[in-house]
């Protein structure tokens, strides 16, 4: 957990903060059984689930932490869509268990 947040995490505290641009491939995987679920890099408590457009079922480029409410924009969304469509292999990402053992 980031030092500035220790003992001060409040649900939805980042709801109105500016959008954070990030690469999905650099995020820590929250669950080895679900490729898209990641740990929020801002609060380290919540998760990012990567949504899909309800009509096209295409991965959406914006996501929100389920705990702190921080909004993210995936800058590598096109690569994510290629992986999702089987055009590109999924990378090996760090897991929450690996992060905890550091």
Q: pTM value?
A: 0.80
In 3D space, the residue among 67, 72, 32 whose CA is nearest the CA of residue 50 turns out to be 72
Q: How confident is the model at residue 10 (pLDDT cuts 50, 70, 90)?
A: confident
pLDDT one-digit tens code per residue, 23-80: 999 999 987 778 889 999 999 999 999 999 999 999 999 999 999 999 999 999 999 9
Give the residue among 65, 73, 67, 69 at the shortest CA–CA distance from 14: 69
Domain boundaries of the chain, sorted by first residue: 9-87
């Amino acid at each position: 957990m980031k030092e500035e947040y220790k003992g001060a995490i409040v649900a939805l505290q980042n709801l109105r903060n500016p959008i954070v641009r990030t690469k999905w491939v650099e995020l820590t995987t929250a669950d080895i059984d679900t490729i898209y679920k990641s740990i929020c890099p801002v609060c380290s408590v919540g998760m990012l689930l990567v949504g899909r457009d309800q009509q096209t079922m295409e991965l959406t480029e914006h996501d929100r932490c389920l705990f702190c409410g921080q909004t993210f924009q995936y800058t590598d969304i096109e690569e994510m869509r290629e992986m999702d469509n089987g055009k590109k292999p999924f990378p090996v990402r760090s897991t929450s268990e690996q992060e905890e053992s550091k």
